[in-house]
A and B are shown apart, each in its own frame.
Chain A
Amino acid sequence: MDFLIFKAPMLMVQASLDGILLGILFALIAYGMALQWGVMNIINIAQGDLVILGGYIAYTIYLWGIHPAWGVIISPIIMFFVGWALYKLVINKVVDRDLFISILATFGIAIVFQQLMNFIFGADVVVAQSEYGTTMLFDNSVTLPNSKIFSAFISVLYAVALVIYMKKSRLGRAIRATAQNARAAKILGVDTEKVYAATFGINAALCGIAGALISITLTLHPYVGLPYTVRSFMIVIVAGLGNLPAVAVSGMGLGLFEEFADYILGTEFRIGAVFMLLVFILVYRRFKLSKKREYLK
């Protein structure tokens, strides 16, 4: 049973496409995490909860009778200000401290966000309907929900736009400068405080987009943020900071790995397999690093 995938080649195609489409979405969330991790040296445990909040914004406009796809424009705008405010209220107090403090602070934020969402939106699982239909390939043996294709397309679009923005705009250059060396950037007249706030805002906006896409492809619930945090954390660990193509590849790779683990190891080991991979990669990295150190000696 477990090796059904090798008997039906179409399943292989289905699994690959499902994995890649989902992976692109994860990569978007991971990109936001990599950005602020790189610039501010903060691991944001509340990342997944920002995603879910973005999803609830899209769900709210869906309840008002507006098509939830508009969420990919409205949600990031609102979330940018949420992120900005969060920076001014909490993050700026921990930004220069060690990593542990920032993990604690964002963990606290995550709990507050979960409870607030539960309070405002209720504890029910909700979905927004896009009514986008389905694309059928190979005589209906491979079916792809158009909502997933749409979400992958939007993710790529925003990611490309962000790369261009980071390269060309003033703020983008300031962010990159701060990431390289905050002190030097400050001396050269960059308002790093503003850069940090903007970075956190941009990250929250990316989460908002991802959340809006999740509301039409998967399900929303106030307490399902953590898996998104963990996944994006893994993607960033694998890809390294400040390397967008690597984030994209590692996101898709993770999606693929998960789907294939499902078929080969069984659904119950799907998430376990992802964690095993994380352990493996961390050990491998450490091993490589220690070799390098020896060489330096």
Chain B
Amino acid sequence: MNKLVKLFITSISAITLALVSFTSSFAKVEGDYIVLGSAISLTGKYSSNGVHTQNGYNMAVDRINKMGGVEVQGKKYKFEIIYYDDESNPKRAAQLAERLIKQDGVHYMLGPYSSGLTKAIAPVTEKYKIPMVEANGASRSLFTKGYKYLFAVLSPANQYLEVAIDLAVEKNGGKGVRIAQAFEQDAFSQDVRLGILDAAKRTGSEIIIDDKLPKELNDMAATLAKVKATKPDVLVVSGHTKGALTAIRQISEMKVDVPMLAMTHCDAAKLSKQHGKKSEYALCASQWHKNLSYKDKFFGGGKKYAKDFQKEFGYDPPYQSAESSAALLVFKDAFERANSFDRDAVRDALVDTEMQTFYGNIKFGPGGQNVAKPMILFQVRCKGDDCENRVVAPTKWASDKFYHPIPKWSERS
């Protein structure tokens, strides 16, 4: 009797063990499918950008699968993604990453939305040596930790507004400018601030106001009053969508005249839509714009991508979607060059990535950040009440000339 029980238990555990090892060693590739995993914010405070990210991933998966998939060792595979909702919560995201890797046996990860959540997941993927291509974590600290399995298709946060300072200096005849800046106290905005500090040092510019906005704050009146009193050459604001919307609201209401205004998150804030003409002349940093002339064989160019995306999802793609689609193109390219499903072979192939996508050139630096793509700046310009974002820098893709200085409020209709 006792022997029977023992035998029974042993055989059960043997079968379970076999099943577990079987699923985990083959889950990365099931039949014709290469399975990728992603924890993404479908609910909670990042849910709108989380959905943009997911739509970008799905769009690329469909397109790659339709156009023949991924060829590894002469066999064609298709992409498939397992999603979990991280509820915009870093702790949950880390748990889900663990679950994707350990329970679902995922061997290749796509990033979540936002720097904070990417930071939560990166130690997990690093621990299990899972290559992760991420498209929505720009914080500089992600790329200084020596992560070996993290690859970002986007430019790091400190590059967001450096171009704007260069532009201001150029307009000032090469002489340094006086900068007023207000940044929210979060990882991303503070990285943008570091970029400005570098640029100021490099150009001999002076920072006369350097406000750090608490996260809970939705009132910038004090900062703007200081700006009015000190009359800087350029005002730089970064505080996610809330910061962008608050800044434009209060600048227009308090009639703050400043020759140049540079911001982040104008896209996500739908600035020109929510504030209309009041947002005119604002200069915004962006990872991507549909008018850029990069090309690839899957999406054609930016304009084609925007059109197809609009058809599929019913809205114009924000850059969060475009960069997410690009992440899949990077994975496909790496699998084909590695010609293997071995994680380390794929990781080594990712290191050697050098390609052009509709989103921009992609080549990873030593920290995993994309070093081949410059940030672009667009300026909000209006015709009557119709406002749109037009690319003004870098000059290679500029569709419009940079309008400088911003006319005074008393001269604006």
Residue ranges of A at the interface with B (Cβ–Cβ < 8 Å): 1, 4, 8, 10-11, 14-15, 18, 22, 115, 118-119, 122-127, 129, 134, 136, 140-141, 143, 145, 147-148, 218-219, 221-224, 226-227, 259, 262-263, 266-268, 270-272
B216 proximal to A (CB < 8 A):
yes
User: In the assembly, what is the distance between CA of A129 and CA of B271, in Å?
Assistant: 13
Once the chains bind, are B249 and A127 in contact (CB under 8 Å)?
Answer: yes
If A15-B222, A136-B255, A268-B214 are given as contacts, then 9 extra A-B residue pairs at C-beta distance below 8 Å, sorted by A number, are A4-B230, A14-B221, A18-B225, A22-B221, A122-B47, A124-B268, A124-B270, A259-B222, A268-B212
Contact status of A218 and B246, CB under 8 A, knowing A8-B229, A122-B48, A266-B211: yes
Q: 13 interchain pairs (CB within 8 A)? A: A4-B226, A18-B225, A22-B221, A115-B43, A118-B47, A119-B43, A126-B245, A145-B254, A224-B216, A267-B217, A267-B222, A270-B214, A270-B222
Query: Are the CB atoms of B275 and A124 closer together than 8 Å?
Result: no
Which chain B residues lie closer than 8 Å to A262 at the CB level? 222-223
A127 touches B275 (CB 8 A): yes
Is there an interface contact between B249 and A219, defined as CB atoms closer than 8 Å? yes
Asked whether, in the complex, the Cβ of A222 is within 8 Å of the Cβ of B45, the reply is yes
B393 within 8 A of A: no
**Chain B residues touching A, range:** 35 or more
- Cross-interface CB contact of B245 among A118, A119, A127, A134, cutoff 8 Å: A127
> Which residues of A lie under 8 Å from residue B214 when comparing CB positions?
267-268, 270-272
Q: Using known A-B contacts A118-B47, A145-B250, A266-B211, determine if residue A271 contacts B216 with beta carbons closer than 8 Å.
A: yes
Q: Are B218 and A134 in contact (CB-based, < 8 A)?
A: no
Determine the chain B residues whose CB is within 8 A of the CB of A140 once the complex forms: 255
Are the CB atoms of B255 and A219 closer together than 8 Å? no
- A4 and B229 contact, Cβ closer than 8 Å, known pairs A18-B222, A219-B245, A267-B212: yes
A44 to B318, CA, bound (A): 39
* A8 contacts across to B, CB distance below 8 A: 229
Contact at B218–A219, with CB atoms within 8 Å? yes
**CB distance B222 to A263 under 8 Å?**
yes
Chain A residues contacting B226 (CB-CB under 8 Å) are: 4, 11, 263
Shortest CB distance A189–B (Å): 46
In the complex, B89 has a CB within 8 A of chain A: no
- Interface hits, B212-244 → A, CB 8 Å: 212-214, 216-219, 221-223, 225-226, 228-230, 240-242
A18 and B221 contact, Cβ closer than 8 Å, known pairs A11-B226, A123-B44: yes
Evaluate whether A125 and B241 lie within 8 angstroms (CB atoms) in the complex, with A118-B43, A145-B250, A271-B214 already known: yes
Contacts of A123 in B (CB 8 A): 44-49
List the B side residues contacting A127 at CB < 8 Å. 245, 249, 274-275
Residues of A within 8 A of B223 (CB): 262, 267
CB of B182 within 8 Å of the partner chain: yes
A129 to B245, CA, bound (A): 12
**B209 lies within 8 A of chain A by Cβ:** yes
Among A122, A223, A262, A270: residue with most chain B CB under 10 A: A262
A14 to B110, alpha carbons, bound, how many Å?
49
**Which partner residue on chain B sits nearest A267 by CB separation?**
B211
List, in ascending order, chain B residues with CB within 8 A of A145's CB: 250, 253-254
- B382 close to A (CB within 8 Å): no
Most buried by B among A125, A140, A270, A272: A125
Residues of A within 8 A of B240 (CB): 125
Find out whether the CB atom of B213 lies under 8 angstroms from the CB atom of A226.
no
Bound CA span A145–B248, Å: 13
Nearest neighbor of B226 in chain A, beta-carbon distance: A4
**Which residues of chain B come closer than 8 Å to A134, judged between CB atoms?**
253-255
Are A218 and B218 CB-contacts (below 8 A) given A4-B226, A10-B229, A118-B43?
yes
Establish whether residues A270 and B217, one from each chain, have CB atoms under 8 Å apart when the complex forms.
yes
Contact assessment for B229 and A218 in the assembled complex, using a CB-CB cutoff below 8 Å: no
Closest to B213 in A: A267
User: Does any Cβ of A come within 8 Å of B291's Cβ?
Assistant: no
A125 B222 Cβ-Cβ under 8 A: no
Q: Which of A8, A14, A148 has the most CB of B within 10 A?
A: A14
Contact of A143 among B218, B241, B255 (CB under 8 A): B255
**CB within 8 A of A219: which of B46, B211, B221, B246?**
B246
Q: Which of B45, B219, B245, B256 contacts A223 (CB 8 A)?
A: B45
Known A-B contacts A267-B211, A268-B185; the reply to A125 vs B225 at CB < 8 A is no
Closest partner residue, chain A, to B48 (CB atom): A123
- Cα distance A148–B223 when bound, in Å? 17
Q: Which residues, 353 to 399 on B, are CB-close (under 8 Å) to A?
A: none
A15 and B240 CA atoms in complex are apart in Å by: 25
Kindly list chain B residues whose C-beta atoms are within 8 Å of the C-beta of A143.
228, 253-256
Which residue of B46, B47, B185, B225 is within 8 Å of A11 (Cβ)?
Answer: B225
Given A125-B242, A219-B245, A267:B182 Cβ within 8 A = yes
Residues in B whose Cβ lies below 8 Å from that of A124? 48, 241, 268-270
- State whether A125 touches B255 (Cβ < 8 A): no
Complex: chain B residue closest to A115, CB-CB? B43
Across the interface, name the chain B residue whose C-beta is closest to A132.
B253
Chain A to chain B: the 3 pairs with minimum beta-carbon distance, closest first: A145-B253, A268-B212, A262-B222
Nearest CB on A from B232, distance (A): 12
The CA of A4 and the CA of B209, in the complex, are separated in Å by 10
Q: Tell whether B345 is near chain A: CB-to-CB under 8 Å.
A: no
Task: Determine if B197 is an interface residue (Cβ-Cβ < 8 Å).
Answer: no
Which B34-60 residues sit within 8 Å CB-CB of chain A? Answer: 43-49
State in angstroms the CA–CA spacing of A145 and B409 once bound together: 14
A22-B229 contact, Cβ under 8 Å, with A123-B44, A134-B255, A267-B182: no
Q: Are B212 and A266 in contact (CB under 8 A)?
A: yes
Chain A residues near B245 (CB, 8 Å)? 125-127, 219
With a cutoff of 8 Å between Cβ atoms, the chain B residues found around residue A141 in the complex are 228
Chain B residue, CB-CB nearest to A142: B225
